[in-house]
Each structure stands twice: as C-alpha cells, then as structure tokens.
Amino acid sequence: MRCSGIMLDISMHGIECDDLRKAYRNVQALDGVSLVADAGKVLALLGSNGSGKTTTVRILTTQVKQDSGTARVCGNDVLREAAAVRKVIGLTAQETHIDKYITGAEYMNLVARLRHIPRKSRKQEITVLLEEFELADKAHIPAGNYSGGMRRRLDIAASLLGSPAILFLDEPSNGLDPHSRKRLWGVIRQRAHEGATILITTQYMEEADALADSIVVLAYGRVIARGTPGELKDQIRGRAVELALSGPEEIAKATAILTALEIQAGPGEDPDALQFVMPLSGITLVELLRHLDAQGVAINDVIARRPTLDEAFLHLTSEVERSVEQALLGAA
C-alpha cells in the first residue's frame, strides 16, 4: 500500500478503527464504531442525520479526539501519530469554509503550499484539477462570487491536491448538480483505481450503490449493518412488494391495514399501486395477502422484487429507530 510515497505492509488497512466512542455532553455521538477500509476501495458511511458519520470522519482526520477506542490511518494512530496521519489524508469536510476574497487559483495554491507540493508540479496539478472540476474559466474569480456548487467543487478539488493516499469525503456531492455529481463519481473511481483508500459519506443511496465497494450503516452512533451494496439489498431480498389495486378507496383501505401491522406503505410506480417492504420477522407475504383479501381488499396483481438500496437503507434504519423508541417507552 502507498502511504506518503513509502511502501508499507500490504496487509495493513488504509483506515481501521475499533470500538470508537465519543460523547458530547449528554449526547453519545459514537457508541462503539468499528470499520475497515482498504487501498483501492471506496467505503460509504451511511446513516440518518445525527447518526455519527461526521464525528467518525472528524476523529479519523484528527480534528476531534475519541473518548475511547482506537483508530489508525495508514497504520498511524490518530492520537499518538496525528501529524503522520495529517500528512497522508485529504479531506472534504461537510461544511465549506473558503474565504470569499480569495480566487479559486489562489485557494488551490495556498492548499498546495500547505501540503508541501513541490513548486515544479504545483502549477500543473492545479491546472488539471481545476479542469477536472470545470473551474478553469472561473480560476481568477473570487470564491465569494462562485455559486454554492462551484465552491463545493473547489473544496473537493483542493482536497485531492497531492494525491493523498487516504481520502475522506463528507457528503461531497451535497449541492452538486447531476452532471457535476457524475463527474465527481468518475474522479472518485479514478482515485480508487490509482490505489487511494476512500471513505465517503452520503445521503444519496444511488451514489453509494454506484461507488461503494462496501457500506457501513450507522444509527445512534452504532453500526447497524455492513456489507457490499448487494449484500445489504439481500438482507431484505424479495421483500420489496408492489400491490396493484383498483382505485383510491382500495389504496386507502390497504394502507390502513398495513399501518395497523406497522408496515409503512407508499405510492407505487402506477397510480393504483402501493409499495412497501415486508418486515424482517413476523407476518409472511402469503399471510399478508390472505389477510388483505379477508378484509375485502381487491388485489389485481402482486410483484415481489429485490429492493433498491434506498429501500434497504430506510428499512434498516426504521427498524432500529422503532426498537429504540420501544426501549425508551419501556424505560419511561
């Protein structure tokens, strides 16, 4: 594996953390997070707002210290060898903080100098990155005059300066238009292909599906699922169901019955269809169809299909949220 130009033990992980815990006053932001990411791979960290993604990134990038647990980046401990960690990482933080008076080119130059990129290659690298992120024609305009998406692109471009061995991208595609997002995916794939270890957080399941070799899902500071995108979908394989019904009345009746069974249904592809994900335990699909029939719901057709990553994610997080709510109710 390449870390700062030095070849290290190939068995070493680019990023690894074990049982990370972090509390902010009375909020347990991380409650035992363990994960591993390898060179040449993209790890996507998913989770609802407040689930602990940014806290994990901040610990791994040495901005915040964990209360307990260990984390190593390129083999360096984030607490004891923080300076060595900083040398091998590139970070696009969730929030962009670029001075409004500085131009794109000046900002890139500043970051390149902080990264000790040799003067000889600096100019060339900046030119290539500004072009890659379609900012070349805006290079000499102050960042304050950029649109939000342009500032975001500049921020990402800067984090790639010096081809860091380990890349942390915290919701990088936030605010990017679909074209820019697709271009960013191309850049991320290319960097992984060149051997970088990439940890990305995102709210876009489509993005995780397209990019990630592996996914870790967080909820309440804990890992609630991990695997490849395919493995996560398989966890609820065949359980995404679409029912074709015969009009709004039938839809309302079926929705009420499903809600009573704690199954959340939404509109399907057709106007007269209803779709939902079957619970992992409890009633089976056959039992459910019989139940609906017995209640007088006329079902025209049933399609059971592999869920999308969106459905898998919503399903996993809502199951956890429900069990936490029940635990809280039990404790009250």
Ligand X SMILES: Nc1ncnc2c1ncn2[C@@H]1O[C@H](COP(=O)(O)OP(=O)(O)OP(=O)(O)O)[C@@H](O)[C@H]1O
Tokens of 213: 């070799």
Listed residue (27, 19, 37) closest to 199, CA to CA = 37
Q: Is 53 in the site for ligand X (CB under 6 A)?
A: yes
Listed residue (154, 173, 183) closest to 44, CA to CA = 173
Q: Which is nearer to ligand X, 34 or 163 (CB)?
A: 34
Compute the distance between CA of residue 196 and CA of residue 168 in angstroms, rounded to an integer.
10
Q: Which of residues 35-74 bind Mg ion (CB under 5 A)?
A: 53-54
Q: What is the 3-state secondary structure (H, E, C) of 171-201?
A: CCCCCCCHHHHHHHHHHHHHHHHCCCEEEEE
Q: Which is nearer to Mg ion, 94 or 127 (CB)?
A: 94
Q: Which is nearer to Mg ion, 94 or 318 (CB)?
A: 94
Q: Which of residues 18-37 bind ligand X (CB under 6 A)?
A: 24, 27, 29
Q: Is 63 in the site for ligand X (CB under 6 A)?
A: no
Only one of the segments 53-61, 97-105, 115-123, 293-301 lies at the binding site for ligand X (rule: CB under 6 A); that segment is 53-61
Q: Which of residues 82-141 bind ligand X (CB under 6 A)?
A: 94
Among 1, 14, 39, 51, binds ligand X (CB under 6 A): 51
Q: Which is nearer to ligand X, 53 or 151 (CB)?
A: 53
3-state helix, strand, coil in the chain (%, to 5): 40, 25, 35
Only one of the segments 50-58, 68-76, 172-180, 239-247 lies at the binding site for ligand X (rule: CB under 6 A); that segment is 50-58
CA angle 47, 198, 96 (to 5 degrees): 70
Listed residue (193, 164, 140, 191) closest to 60, CA to CA = 164
Q: List residues near Mg ion by CB under 5 A.
A: 53-54, 94
Residues that bind ligand X (CB under 6 A): 24, 27, 29, 47, 49-55, 94
